[in-house]
Amino acid sequence: MTRQTPLVRLLTYMSRYKMLYVGLIITMVVGTVLELSIAWFLSLITNAAVKHEVESWPNLVLLAVGMLICIGLHAYFDTYLKQKASLKVRNDIRLDTLDHVLCLPQSYYDKNHSGELLARFTSDNQAVGEASGNIIMGLLKNPLLALCAFIYLLNIHWPLALISISIGPLMIVFGKLFGEVMRKKSIRLQEAMGTATTFLQDVLGASILYKIFGLEKKISKQYQRYSTEISEIERSQGKIQGTANAVSGGIASLTFIIAILVAGFFVAKGNLEVGAMLAFIQLMNYLVQPFSQLPGLWSSMQQALAGAERIFQIIDAPREYEKLPEEGRAKTSFSELAVSTVGFSYTNSEEDLSLRDVHFRVNAGQTIAIVGTSGGGKSTLFKLLLGLYSPTQGMIEIDGRSKESMGLREYRSYFSLVPQETVLFTGTIRDNILDGNPMADEASVIAAAKKANAYDFIMKLSEGFDTEIGERGSRLSGGQKQRIAIARAILRDAPILLLDEATSALDNESERIVQDALAELMVGRTTLVIAHRLTTIQNADLILVMENGNLVEQGTHNDLLQVGGRYHSLYYAQLEEKESTLLMAT
């Protein structure tokens, strides 16, 4: 199946507002008539002046007033309808883009920077909106105005009309040539701006880091390179646009001068009235101006289509949901989670596996700890359990059903997550807790906050649960953010809880408070926890030891210590480190 061009797809969005564009076509026709009427009025008033017809002046004044009122009303409605069309198409494309982005698999986010995606929603979307309003109507109106002016010129003097229309084919050829070059430049420009936006997003979200490490000058120089690249492309575009304007303007001026000289010659010979000549001059503007504007309009359209192409690249990306899933409650129970000989590769290559032959079973109510050195595959295993990736080998099943058989949304409803790096959205504390269960009442929100040891600090804030937390929770401490995340997980009340080193970045006091909250959260739930401090998981029902993508050991704390293998080495290495730290402190 052949994929539609960006222009055809843009027209599909515009077709949703047929009546709006019918209105724009009407204002376009009315505008053309009004512009041609100025030439007609100029002819009337000139002939009346030459013939000394003073008695016709009141009527001419009334006619002028009427024309001015019509021109003003037309300008208002034409601008309003163009803006409305542009806004509606932009909004539809923006919403469709977001809906598709929300349905994209995790692999897409891992490969594409969020700043690059943000550029599609901003600068690219703005260009597409401009195309669906001013630009496309300009591309329609200018040829219509030129055609009508040519027909009018034929009625005045057909030899002059033929001289004037000779500009048309040349302008079209130049417009196409320059338009193609501008489109290629526009794609490069949008990509460069996307890269700069990506860099800026990273920088603006890391103010503490660059202030402490003294990275201001380095960042400034790096952004200067990005900005210089953008400026170079824009300068190149300016040269192309300037050349196009110079060529089209030169051809238009030459045609205009020739036509005026010939018209003056005919007036001198008595073959053309002075009023007709002035009307002809005005009509020449309406004939030359549209053709001289076409190359610029076409270049702008090419730039907009380049932005549309980048947006549609996102919309065409494979997604994991066919449509946005409905909001629903988490599952309340399950019997068994089985991981059977699972292997996984990020590159889908069986020779490059990040996990190999991982197998274990979890019964409802058990606590499973996953330990091992960095890079062992613990986080990758969590991604598979959450359905963010599918196993390259083996199977993950809940009560004998895989995510493929039950559907991704149903599968994920068994899980809740407290990540290592707390993720909160801009908004209030209440909003973030309610993300666990949007249908929960106020009493449930308060109960979740109390269980998470968050209620007391929340109530000390000036606005309590209505306190705005700032970007990514910037107004809260690390421990406070983590307790909000735990309250969110408590409110979700899913039967399987995944804890990804939830206290690794906290100080001792905050860790103690958060550990108490986690203990409350784990009551009655099946818990899989990635643990960095082995002393906290001694009572786990099962401990999995991961190393280089392999499950090297599994068993209880006592069993693994008796074996004297990898877990034994990790455990006593941590004990020695802790004892050394205590000795140094004393």
Q: In sequence order, what DSSP letters do the residues of 324-369 get, joined into one string?
A: PPPP-PPP---SEEEEEEEEE-TTS-TTS-SEEEEEEEEETT-EEE
pLDDT tens, the chain, 586 aa long: 456 788 888 889 999 999 999 999 999 999 888 888 877 777 777 767 767 777 777 887 888 888 889 888 988 999 899 989 988 998 899 888 888 888 888 888 888 777 777 778 877 888 888 888 888 888 888 888 878 877 777 777 677 666 666 665 666 666 566 666 666 676 777 778 777 777 776 776 665 556 555 666 777 787 788 888 888 887 877 777 777 767 766 766 776 677 677 777 777 777 767 666 776 776 667 666 776 677 677 777 877 888 888 888 888 888 887 777 776 677 777 888 998 988 998 887 777 788 888 899 999 888 888 988 888 888 889 889 988 888 888 999 999 898 888 888 888 888 888 887 788 888 888 988 888 888 888 998 998 888 888 888 889 888 888 988 877 777 888 888 888 888 888 888 888 888 887 665 555 555 667 677 677 667 777 888 887 777 778 888 898 998 888 889 888 888 888 888 888 888 888 777 666 655 555 5
CA 465 to chain centre: 30
Q: Give the C-alpha separation, 49 to 39, whole Å.
A: 15
Three-state helix/strand/coil letters over 91-155: HHHHHHHHHHHHCCCHHHHHHCCHHHHHHHHHHHHHHHHHHHHHHHHHHHHHHHHHHHHHHHHHH
Q: Give the C-alpha separation, 4 to 66, whole Å.
A: 47
User: In the structure encoding, which two tokens stand for residue 573, read together?
Assistant: 């290495």
Name residue, tokens 């006091």: 509
Q: Judging by DSSP bridges, how do beta strands 542-547 and 550-555 pair with one another? A: antiparallel
Q: Give the C-alpha separation, 330 to 436, whole Å.
A: 9
Q: Which of 432, 573, 560 is nearest to 490 (CA)?
A: 432
CA 395 to chain centre: 34
Q: Judging by DSSP bridges, how do beta strands 401-402 and 550-555 pair with one another? A: unpaired
Alpha helices by DSSP H, listed for 270-355, are 274-315
Q: Which of 142, 189, 146 is nearest to 302 (CA)?
A: 189
Q: For residue 348, give the 3-state DSSP assignment.
A: coil
Q: Give the C-alpha separation, 153 to 162, whole Å.
A: 9
Q: How many CB atoms lie within 10 A of CB 88?
A: 18
Q: For residue 565, give the 3-state DSSP assignment.
A: coil
Contact call for residues 79 and 27 (beta carbons, < 8 A): no
Q: The whole model's pTM is what?
A: 0.73
Task: Summarize pLDDT for 105-162 with one digit per residue, the tens.
Answer: 888 888 877 777 777 887 788 888 888 888 888 888 888 887 887 777 777 767 766 6
- Give 372's DSSP letter: -
Q: Judging by DSSP bridges, how do beta strands 367-371 and 542-547 pair with one another? A: parallel
Ordered by where they begin, the domains of the chain are 6-315 (1.20.1560.10), 336-556 (3.40.50.300)
**Cα–Cα distances in Å, from 468 out to 168, 442, 482?**
60, 17, 16
Q: Give the C-alpha separation, 110 to 449, whole Å.
A: 32
Q: For residue 490, give the 3-state DSSP assignment.
A: helix
- Give 55's DSSP letter: G
Q: Give the C-alpha separation, 504 to 572, whole Å.
A: 19
Q: For residue 545, give the 3-state DSSP assignment.
A: strand
